[in-house]
C-alpha cells in the first residue's frame, strides 16, 4: 500500500520546504510518493525541487491553476496505483505532525474506504480550530463551515470525526480507485475554486462517505486562501483568482446535486442572485433611511429645546437634556455625543446629560469633540474647547449645588449662598473615565486628566493631571516643544474641596 501525495505549488518556496519536511517525518514515510506540480514558480522553487531526490517534480507554464495541477499529478500517479493505494491532496502552506498520514489512512479504512479530510488549526488561536469542513445547501446556493454549528464547548472538545458535504484540497485522502471509477479534476470547467468540492461531491453521489477526522490536523498561517477585499467588483465577480467568480459558481452548481438540481441551477442561481442583490440594496437603503430619520429626530428634539446645533453633529443614543429657558447650550460642528454603550469600548453608567440650571448659564462644546456618558451641569458657564475627548462617565459642574452652611444646606432658596465659578477646558484635552471636574477649574490645551481624578484649580497647557486632589504629575510636551501659556507646575491653585 502506498500513499501518493500531490501538492500544487506556485512560488512560496519556504512553505514548500516546510510541507516536505513534515512529510519526511511521517511514520508512513517509506510508503509515500511525493509529487509536486510546480506551475511556473519564479522564486527558486524549481531549482530546489531538482535537488530533492525523494520528490517528483511536474512543471507547468503558470496556467494550470489548482484543477490543472491536480489533473497533471493524477496522470502521473494513477497508472502505477494498486487497488489498496491512496491519493493525498495537499497545499504547500500547511504543516502537520508525524502521525498525520497514518491517521487519515486508518480513518478511511475504519469508514469503509471513505474520503477523509482534515481540520484546520491556527497557531496561537484559542480555540485553535478554524475550519472543519463545508456544509452546502445546493437549493439555496449557500456554503458555510460546520464549525459554525458547534457550541464553544464543542469547538474546544470536538468529536473524533464529522460527516460533511464536501472536502477541500487542503489535506484530503482518497482511495486511488475512486479516480479511476469516477474521474479526476475538470480543469476546463473548474480551473481553480470549487474544483476540490466538485470532486468530493461527485464521489459522494456514488455513495462514498465524506469524513473529516479531527485527529488529522493541518496547521495553517492566520490567512489562507485568496484575499479579495482589494479587488474591484468586476474582478471579484468575474476574475479567475476570486472565489466569488459567478461563472465558476454557476458551473459548480450545474455539476453537483441531483439531476433536477443540476438542470435548474442556472435559473435558480439567477433568481437568488437578483433576490439577494435587491434585498441587500433595499436593506442597506432602509438602514440608512432609519439612521437618518432617528438622527434628524434627535437633533430636532435638541433644537426644539433651544439648543444651538452645528453641522454634522452625531448622536449615538438619545442624550438627556435640561435647559433653563434663559440659558444657552451650544454644540459646535461635528460634536459626537455617545449615550449608548454599544458604540463605545467602556460601559456607560447613563446617557450624556447636559443641563443649565440657572438663568444666564451657558454650556458650549467645541468642534470635533467626543463625549461618552458624561454629566455636564452649569449654573454659570462651562466652556469645552475643540477636539476634546472624554472617556466614559466624566462629570463636570460649575456649582456646589448646595450652600456650605449646615442650616441652609437642605432647603436654601438663596442662590448667593451657593458657590459657583466658571469651568474652562482648553482645546485637545483628553479627560479619562470617571474624572470629576469641579467649579472654578481651568485646564490648558493639550492636557490629560487621568481616570478617576478629582480636579479643581488652574492647570497649564500640556499638563498631565492625576490624583485626589488632582495635581500636575508631568507634561505631554518634550523639552524641545514650546508650552503655550505654560507656568511652573507648582503655580496652579491647590484643590480645596
Tell me what percent of the residues of the chain surpass a pLDDT of 90: 67
Residue 389 has pLDDT above 60, yes or no: yes
Contact 129, 118 (CB under 8 A): no
Going by C-alpha positions, the residue among 317, 311, 107 that lies closest to residue 213 is: 107
Neighbouring C-beta atoms of residue 375, cutoff 10 Å? 18
Among the options 324, 402, 424, 492, which is catalytic? 402
Q: Given this model, what pLDDT does residue 497 score?
A: 29
Q: In the structure, what pLDDT confidence band is assigned to residue 482 with cuts at 50, 70 and 90?
A: very low
Contacts of residue 238, defined as CB under 8 A and 6 or more positions apart, other chains included, come to: 245, 246, 247
Lowest mean pLDDT among 97-111, 166-180, 411-425: 411-425
Going by C-alpha positions, the residue among 445, 330, 327, 447 that lies closest to residue 385 is: 445
Contact 217, 155 (CB under 8 A): no
Cα 173-175-178 angle, rounded to 5 deg: 120
CA dihedral 213, 218, 222, 224 (to 10 degrees): -90
Interatomic CA distance for residues 320 and 338, integer angstroms: 11
Global pTM value: 0.59
Q: Given this model, what pLDDT does residue 280 score?
A: 63
The pLDDT of 352-379, averaged and rounded, is 95
Residue 286 has pLDDT above 80, yes or no: no
- The secondary structure of residue 318, as a DSSP letter, is P
* Higher-scoring residue by pLDDT: 299, 166: 166
Question: For 53-96, what is each residue's pLDDT tens digit?
Answer: 999 999 999 999 999 999 999 999 999 999 999 999 999 989 99
Residue bearing cell 475643540: 386
Instruction: Give exposure, 393-414, as e/b (b: 16+ Cβ within 10 Å).
Output: bbbbbbbbeebeeeeeeeeeee
Contact 111, 99 (CB under 8 A): no
Q: Given this model, what pLDDT does residue 80 score?
A: 93
The pLDDT of 101-122, averaged and rounded, is 96
Contact 100, 173 (CB under 8 A): no
Q: Given this model, what pLDDT does residue 478 score?
A: 65
Contact 179, 74 (CB under 8 A): yes
Interatomic CA distance for residues 190 and 194, integer angstroms: 7
Give, to the nearest 10 degrees, the angle between helix 246-255 and helix 259-304: 140
Q: Given this model, what pLDDT does residue 413 score?
A: 60
What the block records as the C-alpha cell of 262 is 443540476
Q: In the structure, what pLDDT confidence band is assigned to residue 415 with cuts at 50, 70 and 90?
A: low
Q: Concatenate the DSSP letters of all residues of 348-374 into one string.
A: PSS--EEEE-STT-EEEE-TT-EEES-
Q: How many angstroms separate the Cα of 100 from the Cα of each of 77, 103, 258?
A: 21, 5, 34
Mean pLDDT of the chain: 88
* Higher-scoring residue by pLDDT: 325, 285: 325
Residue 435 has pLDDT above 60, yes or no: yes
Residue 434 has pLDDT above 50, yes or no: yes
* Higher-scoring residue by pLDDT: 113, 493: 113
Q: In the structure, what pLDDT confidence band is assigned to residue 233 with cuts at 50, 70 and 90?
A: low
Q: Given this model, what pLDDT does residue 288 score?
A: 73
Question: For 9-68, what is each residue's pLDDT tens digit?
Answer: 999 999 999 999 999 999 976 799 999 999 999 999 999 999 999 999 999 999 999 999
What the block records as the C-alpha cell of 160 is 473524533
Q: In the structure, what pLDDT confidence band is assigned to residue 171 with cuts at 50, 70 and 90?
A: very high
Q: Concatenate the DSSP letters of all residues of 181-215 into one string.
A: HH----TTT-SSTTHHHHHHHHHHHTT--EEEEEE
The pLDDT of 295-303, averaged and rounded, is 83
Residue 206 has pLDDT above 90, yes or no: yes
Residue 494 has pLDDT above 70, yes or no: no
Question: For 450-461, what is each residue's pLDDT tens digit?
Answer: 999 999 999 999
As a whole number of Å, the end-to-end CA separation of the chain is 87
For this structure, is 424 an active site residue?
no
Amino acid at each position: 500500500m502506498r500513499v501518493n501525495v500531490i501538492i500544487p505549488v506556485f512560488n512560496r518556496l519556504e512553505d514548500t520546504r516546510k510541507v516536505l519536511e513534515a512529510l519526511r517525518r511521517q511514520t508512513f514515510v517509506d510508503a509515500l510518493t511525493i509529487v509536486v506540480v510546480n506551475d511556473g514558480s519564479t522564486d527558486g522553487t524549481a531549482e530546489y525541487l531538482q535537488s530533492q531526490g525523494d520528490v517528483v517534480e511536474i512543471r507547468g507554464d503558470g496556467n494550470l491553476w489548482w484543477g490543472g495541477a491536480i489533473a497533471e499529478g493524477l496522470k502521473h500517479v494513477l497508472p502505477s496505483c494498486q487497488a489498496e493505494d491512496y491519493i493525498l491532496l495537499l497545499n504547500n502552506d500547511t504543516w502537520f505532525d508525524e502521525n498525520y498520514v497514518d491517521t487519515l489512512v486508518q480513518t478511511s479504512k475504519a469508514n469503509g474506504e471513505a474520503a477523509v479530510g482534515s481540520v484546520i488549526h491556527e497557531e496561537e488561536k484559542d480555540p485553535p480550530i478554524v475550519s472543519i469542513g463545508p456544509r452546502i445547501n445546493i437549493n439555496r446556493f449557500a456554503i458555510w463551515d460546520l464549525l459554525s454549528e458547534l457550541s464553544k464547548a464543542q469547538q474546544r472538545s470536538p468529536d473524533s470525526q464529522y460527516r460533511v458535504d464536501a472536502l477541500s484540497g487542503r489535506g484530503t485522502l482518497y482511495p486511488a480507485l475512486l479516480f479511476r471509477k469516477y474521474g479526476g479534476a475538470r480543469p476546463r470547467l473548474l480551473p481553480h475554486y470549487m474544483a476540490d468540492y466538485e470532486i468530493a461531491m461527485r464521489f459522494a453521489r456514488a455513495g462514498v462517505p465524506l469524513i473529516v477526522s479531527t485527529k488529522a490536523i493541518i496547521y495553517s498561517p492566520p490567512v489562507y486562501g485568496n484575499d479579495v477585499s482589494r479587488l474591484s467588483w468586476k474582478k471579484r465577480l468575474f476574475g479567475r483568482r476570486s472565489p466569488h467568480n459567478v461563472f465558476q459558481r454557476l458551473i459548480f452548481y450545474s455539476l453537483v446535486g441531483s439531476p433536477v438540481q443540476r438542470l435548474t441551477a442556472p435559473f435558480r442561481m439567477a433568481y437568488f442572485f437578483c433576490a439577494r442583490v435587491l434585498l441587500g440594496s433595499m436593506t442597506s437603503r432602509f438602514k440608512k433611511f432609519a439612521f437618518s430619520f432617528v438622527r434628524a429626530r434627535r437633533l430636532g428634539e435638541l433644537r426644539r429645546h433651544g439648543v444651538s446645533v452645528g453641522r454634522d453633529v452625531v448622536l449615538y443614543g438619545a442624550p438627556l437634556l435640561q435647559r433653563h429657558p434663559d440659558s444657552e447650550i451650544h454644540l459646535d460642528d461635528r460634536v459626537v455625543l455617545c449615550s449608548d454603550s454599544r458604540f463605545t469600548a467602556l460601559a456607560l453608567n447613563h446617557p450624556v446629560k447636559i443641563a443649565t440650571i440657572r438663568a444666564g448659564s451657558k454650556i458650549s462644546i467645541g468642534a470635533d469633540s467626543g463625549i461618552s456618558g458624561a454629566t455636564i451641569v452649569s449654573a454659570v458657564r462651562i466652556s469645552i474647547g475643540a477636539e476634546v475627548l472624554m472617556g466614559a462617565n466624566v462629570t463636570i459642574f460649575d456649582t456646589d449645588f448646595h450652600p456650605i452652611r449646615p442650616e441652609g444646606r437642605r432647603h436654601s432658596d438663596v442662590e448667593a449662598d451657593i458657590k459657583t465659578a466658571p469651568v474652562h477646558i482648553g482645546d485637545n484635552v483628553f479627560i479619562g473615565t470617571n474624572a470629576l471636574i469641579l467649579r472654578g477649574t481651568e485646564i490648558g490645551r493639550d492636557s490629560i486628566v487621568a481616570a478617576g481624578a478629582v480636579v479643581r484649580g488652574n492647570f497649564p497647557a500640556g499638563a498631565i493631571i492625576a490624583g485626589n486632589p488632582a495635581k500636575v504629575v508631568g507634561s505631554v510636551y518634550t523639552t524641545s516643544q514650546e508650552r503655550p501659556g505654560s507656568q511652573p507646575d507648582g503655580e496652579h491653585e491647590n484643590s480645596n474641596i
